[in-house]
Amino acid sequence: MSNWRDRFSKMTGRTRFVVCRIFIHLAGDEVAPLIGLLNQVGREAIDAEGEIDLLGEGLEQICLGLLRNDVYWRSAANEGNVFWDEGEAGDEVNFLFTDSAQRYKSESYTSQEVGETEPLSIPITHNLIVMITVAFEGEVPQLETDLADINALKAGLKALINLHYQRTLRAIQVHWSPAKLGDELTDDQILEYYPELIPL
């Protein structure tokens, strides 16, 4: 991400902002409990009312949950840009928020007739997509590289945790699909809504 304009801006003492988004696709019978963690952190984020330190604590919980479940990682992707203007960085965060929200697709199972001899159960999804968008000040090589590699992705998630402790995070957004237990994200939906994912 570094070029001559970056070097010139650094020499003039301007603040460097990075906005990046990470996609992680998990698959397997045990990914559903992560939806509970994401929903819990999401509720806490609403209560935090934008307090970045509290949002950072939630981000740490999500990153640790993802790292503990790395055996279920199937594919990933990331993108990002460097800005020297805070307003432009904010615009990029808003753009990525809107884009992530539009991708936030899950197919809810509708009520169907259940015979008297059939048990009533909630379908469990075998796919989960987590989208993490952050804006931060400075340079973090672990996040400014291709993360479609298991070791690089682990380093990137650990770098996100470090950013929280370094207090250099300026924006945090997390989207996930499916939204709740009982919803299912199909393989076809992943291909349609997340075409940039690269197998790990």
155 lies in some domain? yes
| Residue 195 scores a pLDDT above 80 | yes
119 lies in some domain? no
6 lies in some domain? no
Gap between the Cα atoms of 195 and 78, Å rounded? 12
Gap between the Cα atoms of 59 and 129, Å rounded? 15
pTM of the model: 0.85
Most confident of 39-48, 59-68, 178-187: 59-68
99 lies in some domain? yes
Q: What is the mean pLDDT of residues 31-51?
A: 86
- pLDDT value for 134: 95
Over the stretch 78-126, which tens digit does the pLDDT of each residue have?
999 999 999 999 999 999 988 988 886 543 333 233 333 334 455 567 8
Q: Which of 59, 19, 22 is nearest to 152 (CA)?
A: 22
Q: Which amino acid is at 179?
A: A
H-assigned helices in 69-174: 86-103, 150-166
Residue 40 near residue 48, CB atoms below 8 Å: no
Q: What is the enclosing helix (H) or strand (E) of 131? A: strand 127-137
Domain count of the fold of the chain: 1
Say how many C-beta atoms besides its own lie within 10 A of residue 185's C-beta: 24
Gap between the Cα atoms of 83 and 52, Å rounded? 20
Q: Which domain holds residue 181?
A: 14-106+125-199
- pLDDT value for 32: 81
Strands 183-184, 107-108: parallel, antiparallel or unpaired by DSSP? antiparallel
Whether omega for the bond prior to residue 178 falls within 30 degrees of 0, making it cis, is yes
Beta bridge partners of 16: none
192 lies in some domain? yes
42 lies in some domain? yes
8 lies in some domain? no
Q: Which of 166, 145, 167, 143 is nearest to 156 (CA)?
A: 143
